[in-house]
Copies of this chain bind each other. A is one copy, B any other.
Amino acid sequence: MPSTTRPGPAIRTLPEPAGLPEPLPEPAVEDLRLETVLGALSDPLRLTIVRKLLLESEAFDHTCGWFGLDRPKSSLTHHFKALREAGVTRQRQYGLERRSHVRVADLEARFPGLLALVAAWTPDES
């Protein structure tokens, strides 16, 4: 049992820099479910996204386009939404763009070590 189970009524956001746009709807830290997060990460494309965010950025948010994924936009919307709704990423709307970053602190608090596995992952080289 995580000791963070009872911080009262679901807090949705974390203290982050400042004056940023509101994050799009996402599960609160204490509502993160292992099975849901694992499900979101059980897809190579989404692993690619999260790993790229972990390794090649972490400065700050990135747009869909930044990833250079060769898929139609509607497919990307789908996957980014899946990641966000599982609680893996946080998305913010900056004008036209929707930028994402990994909820490192939240995930590390609830599932320590999980992100390290994602960072160490390599796509199937077959």
The A contact surface, by secondary structure, is helix
Encode A99-114 as 1/0 by CB contact (under 8 A) with B.
0000000000001111
Within 8 Å CB of A36, what residues of B? 42
Q: Are A42 and B38 in contact, CB atoms less than 8 angstroms apart?
A: yes
- Copies of this protein in the assembly total 2
User: A1 to chain B: which residues have CB within 8 Å?
Assistant: 120, 122
Q: Mark A1-45, 1 if CB is under 8 A from B, else 0.
A: 110000000000000000000000000000001111011011110
On chain B, the residues within 8 Å of A38 by CB distance are: 38-39, 41-42
- Cβ of B47 and Cβ of A42 under 8 Å apart? no
A42: chain B residues at CB < 8 Å are 35-36, 38-39, 42
Contact status B43-A35, CB under 8 Å: yes
By the criterion CB–CB under 8 Å, are B117 and A111 in contact?
yes
Q: Would you list 19 pairs from A and B whose C-beta atoms are within 8 A, ordered by A residue?
A: A1-B120, A1-B122, A34-B41, A34-B47, A34-B117, A34-B118, A35-B41, A35-B42, A35-B44, A38-B38, A42-B42, A111-B117, A112-B113, A112-B116, A112-B117, A113-B113, A113-B114, A113-B117, A114-B117
